[in-house]
A and B are shown apart, each in its own frame.
Chain A
């Protein structure tokens, strides 16, 4: 997808002009490349709390160059990431530690640098001062995310009591190029992790992943990304998209299932296909989605019903079908659903769509416990402005605006959404359940 503005301003003269006009210069984001190291330089771990020691050990085990004291700038000009343990901050005065650390260290963060702040889930803290201090962290991360340049991101991981060893997977994701377009977000870790992954380059090895709407766009990228990460793919799309679906499936290896997910027997047919062809199902990605935009006054009932039917009702019944067919779910089942930024912020002409996509957020929150009972998780991803055929077709002005209204000054790529989905589906991401993660470059809308 061509982002003309990015190409122009990244050209020498274009950049001068953009600087003169005070326009943002979108950086080329560091994205995951299999085989390359997760970080391009050392990590500095700061702060003081329960997590500093385990985090340092975790990162060292992962083969990273971990510093606990700022190195002489002569030796380490740039850090690839700053990890700050704020779990020890119990009142507002202790928050000064954030200033102390980041005031100097932010200058030493390299391109596409990562800031991860570790905190406690405020909801679980009774002491008002400690609750407020931990809640403060969210504001801090959101603000510093907007100050980062050159593709940097800042995110907060909040850890529930007893969930400390659930942070490995979220940390690995947030520090890597896989989280290129995730910034300004809070990612809650709600339980400890009981699973490990043998080959971090192929976290889905031996697993079977169903992706609905896999024929094109974000779904295609999800299928390709999960396959790259080791999964066998069951690609699902409408019979009328069967040719594109066949192309994707033949490329990544797996089977194609031409199925309208709104059909009465869709769940049954999906389960039957998975059972007979693959024996089991580990990951279900509910990606198929549609828009039928009209203001509520001009929208007919069919347009409402179609959007709700595909985006929410069909997804709910597929989830129920795989949960009810108890002989198909694997040991660490993962469901990931596509919500949308517009389901959080709302958008004119999208009452149907926003309703459905907000419903998705509620669905994953409500289904978290039933999934946990099966050693599984269910989460959602809410993409912001993603460069797809859909956004390519938008009017030029709103498209340009959509692209720039975020801290990274650019649209995300389908692979950015796919990477977040792959992460939420990792076997060792079992600490994250019931949440909705925005993949929006810290878009201003609904934030």
Chain B
């Protein structure tokens, strides 16, 4: 087999993220993804260029959006003969898309491509409920007037109740928040620690915006030029007054302040071989060197829904011959503040690491000053499929910005997902 090539992260772009039902209330996935791609193309000077592949997706999709990414490419400033495909893996969607493109680059199938994702909970699809759908499908088969009359006789007001996508696990019927509430309680994650983490996420994101960190990572959209979920002036006092929304409504610790809100947005990452980047006068911000996915059995209560990355990381570390401390930056997706805290607690826990991860010693703790240094999903919000691309672009730029990293510039990206999935990746300068 030939030598694997490097997959360089060259540039990233997203639109500002907007809380559901606000600035992008009337925008479709198609509009948002096209805008994110066009901003990326303008920044990198690739108008009219044919790329090897664009991979991406959305979690909440209309049936007409079966070819969402290809349609967005056609509407974008990229050449129309740029191929594209859709992927869908809940909150891991765009990290999986980035990985797909990176792998194609590494094995030599393409020289350049984009991994991207988009989601809207404002313009979410609404389905006919199953009973009405079956009725209408039957009506399509009916030939005789009498068949129609029979079918019409089955019409009931209840059939008009739409089938709205829910943020719930099919296997358990519990929402993601309810699942996480179980994990939060199991690990005894305190309310205060969660609020602290949320506050820090907002403060760090606000500082990054003020520093102009996002000047070349974000393109405005529909009049919005900053993430509108960001609360730069939030305080611990304000956060502490919020009522629990998941778990026990009295004793629970998870609030709207330390959980991600429903969010609309899109993000994209340009990847290429270092040669391609050099030929196009584009920088290599970082390289995507490896990734590992894992899943957990949350259905039978063996593990928390969002704990899969906890399992993926040690396998990835072992393959790379690294320890958990060999990183300069950690990007752990803040689905909920307690997800991050439970993840870190698990890695520190000797018994858990021994029994569940099969390790002789715990992975140990990570330096909090290296964790989500420019804020994460609690502050930006979390348009499911866009989050991975947002995180990869941010981490790559952070690595490119400095030359004095202890480990030469290495970042760990960890994203949990619905369905008990998780995907983690390593970026290096």
Contacts and interface: CB of A to CB of B under 8 A. Distances in A.
Contacts of A44: none
Interface in B153-201: none
Contact of A249 (B47, B215, B225): B47
Given A256-B42, A277-B281, A243 B219 contact: yes
A388 interface: no
Interface in B36-65: 38-39, 41-45, 47-48
B220 interface: yes
A217 interface: no
A263 B212 contact: yes
Contacts of A277: 45, 281-282
B220 A250 contact: no
A108 interface: no
Given A242-B220, A246-B219, A255 B283 contact: no
Given A239-B214, A250-B38, A256-B43, A279 B281 contact: yes
Contacts of B341: none
A435 B221 CA distance: 40
A235 B43 CA distance: 9
A56 interface: no
Contact of B42 (A246, A259, A263, A278): A246
Interface residues of B, number: 23
Interface string A250-285: 110111111110010000000000001111000000
Contacts of B281: 276-279
A276 B285 CA distance: 13
B289 interface: no
Interface in B217-272: 218-221, 225
A15 B254 CA distance: 74
Interface in B257-299: 281-283
Contacts of A259: 215
Contacts of B219: 242-243, 246, 258
Contacts of B47: 249-251, 253
B43 A255 contact: yes
Given A246-B39, A276-B281, A239 B45 contact: no
Interface residues of A, number: 25
A5 B218 CA distance: 42
A170 B232 CA distance: 55
B41 A250 contact: yes
A351 B221 CA distance: 35
Contact of B218 (A242, A245, A250, A263): A242
A104 interface: no
A255 B48 contact: no
Interface string A222-242: 000000000000010001111
Interface of A: 235, 239-243, 245-247, 249-251, 253-260, 263, 276-279
28 contacts: A235-B42, A239-B215, A239-B220, A239-B225, A240-B225, A242-B220, A243-B220, A246-B41, A246-B42, A246-B219, A247-B38, A247-B42, A250-B38, A250-B41, A250-B47, A250-B77, A251-B77, A253-B48, A254-B45, A255-B43, A255-B45, A256-B43, A257-B216, A258-B43, A259-B215, A263-B212, A277-B281, A277-B282
